Amino acid sequence: MSNEKPKVAFYWCASCGGCEEAVVDLHEKILDVVAAVDIVLWPVALDFKKHHIEALKPKEIAVAFINGAVRLSEHEEWVKLLREKSGLVVAFGACAHLGGIPGLANYTTRDEILANKYHRAVTVDNPQKLLPQTESKVNGYALELPALWNDVRPLDEVIEVDYYLPGCPPPVDLIVAAVTAILKGELPPKGTVIGPLKSLCESCSLNSTKPEKMAIKEFKRVATSTPDPKTCFLAQGYVCMGPATRSGCGERCIKGNMPCRGCFGPTPEARDQGTKFLSSLASMLEAKTEAEAQAVADTIVDPVGTFYRFSLPKSLLRRRRVKT
């Protein structure tokens, strides 16, 4: 028993499965991981059940990697269980770290979402206006479904989180760095976001093409025009989150001719990615009068969805206000 390998758990909450892909993207390096650890939970790949985890002693799992935002009662139960059974919890990927794309649901409400999905959608035939229930009886059997919460929350609003692996999904080199550090016991201070401290612009290969003084007259959208891949996107008038976003992603989007969408979250100094970006963006405008400033603002279609694409639940305001 003394040479037992450290136990590792992977779990997913409100996520797309991309973070699981990121683990598989370790390719042959995953064999080193598997040789060094004992995976006790990984719903996407291995058939372990909740009772297997419940049978473990507190902190028996060395580290739990949890991806996805917390959206359902089931997510909350699982992450609380994993917190109890794990020495370390790593928020894996943008959704666990900041709320991520599912976090954009905080722009609406649970009731609006259910009404759209079950009643209003043209492809739905539901004359009795049924809704999924947490408990129902079918042929005399009581069936249960998890409850859908009104708010999407990042992992650290529900349980204590030791480390964050940013990104949508986290890049392989950062995953390897994190796993290696944990296995060797070379741990950074608790609460560390495992990634560089600089902004994306500082490591961006297009940085040298940025003019001394930016003079944006209007904003363009990648949906309606194609940027020049060799020139700073902001200089061309495309909303690129680089100035307010943490570096470390390997500029995957930039290399694909896509301006930064902000998945790595705010730089360490920034509390709120959206307003920090707004501040930086506005300083690049050419507008000399209030009317000109208004005209440029009009060309930004959806500031909340663009500036907080991955970080709405972790932002200062967290969600849209619902008037009652």
Partner 1 sequence: MAEDSFEPKIIGFLCRWCSYTGADLAGTSRIHYPPNLAAIRVMCSGRVDPTFVVQAFAEGADGVLIAGCHPGDCHYSEGNYKAMRRYPILLKLLEQFGIERERVRLEWVSASEGNKFAEVVTDMTQQLKALGPLNWPARKAAGSQEQRLPLRQVAKGVAAHV
Q: Interaction with partner 1 in 150-169: which residues (CB under 8 A)?
A: 150-151
How far does CA 159 lie from the centroid of its chain? 16
- Cα 68 to chain centroid, rounded: 7
Calpha distance 226→258 (Å, rounded) = 9
CB 70 within 8 A of CB 158: yes
Query: According to the binding rule CB under 8 A, does residue 279 interact with partner 1?
Result: yes
With H, G, I as helix, E, B as strand and everything else as coil, classify residue 314: helix
> Which one among 39, 43, 118, 177 touches partner 1, defined by CB under 8 A?
118
Residues 237 and 311: their CA atoms lie apart, in Å, by 23
Contact with partner 1 (CB under 8 A): which of 91, 245, 281, 310?
Answer: 281
Q: Does 7 bind partner 1 (CB under 8 A)?
A: no
Q: Is 143 among the residues that bind partner 1 (CB under 8 A)?
A: no
Question: x-or-dash pattern for partner 1, window 71-110, by CB under 8 A?
Answer: ------------------------------------x-xx
The distance of closest approach from Cβ of residue 158 to partner 1 in the complex, given in angstroms and rounded to an integer, is 10
Q: Closest CB to partner 1 among 206 and 312?
A: 312
DSSP 208: G
Instruction: Dig out the tokens for 278 from the structure.
Output: 């707004």
Distance (Å, whole) CA 79 – CA 63: 12
Q: What is the closest distance, in whole angstroms, from the C-beta atom of residue 311 to partner 1 in the complex?
A: 13
Among 223, 278, 311, 314, binds partner 1 (CB under 8 A): 278
CA 283/CA 245 separation, integer angstroms: 16
Token look-up 């976001």 returns 193
Q: At its nearest, how many Å lie between partner 1 and the CB of residue 259?
A: 17
For tokens 């009886």, the residue is 137
- Name the one range near partner 1 by CB under 8 A: 21-29, 34-42, 200-208, 273-281: 273-281
Nearest to 70 by CA among 159, 175, 195: 159
Number of residues that bind partner 1 (CB under 8 A): 57
Distance in Å, CB of 213 to partner 1, minimum: 12
C-alpha radius of gyration, the chain, whole number: 22
Spatial separation of the C-alpha atoms in residues 42 and 48, rounded to whole Å? 7
Q: State in angstroms the smallest separation of the CB of 169 from partner 1.
A: 27
Neighbour tally for 253: CB within 10 Å: 20
Query: Of 24 and 145, which CB lies nearer to partner 1 in the complex structure?
Result: 145
Q: Which residue's CB is nearer to partner 1, number 34 or number 130?
A: 130
Range in contact with partner 1 (rule: CB under 8 A) among 28-36, 78-86, 188-196, 288-296 = 288-296
Beta bridge partner(s), residue 72:
148
320 lines the binding site for partner 1 (CB under 8 A) = yes
- Distance, in Å, from the CA atom of 129 to the CA atom of 122, rounded to the nearest integer, reads 13
Residue number with CB closer to partner 1 (36 or 131):
131
The residues binding partner 1 (CB under 8 A) are: 107, 109-112, 114-116, 118-120, 129, 131-134, 145, 147-151, 270-272, 274-276, 278-279, 281-283, 285, 287-290, 293-294, 296-298, 300, 302-304, 307, 315-323
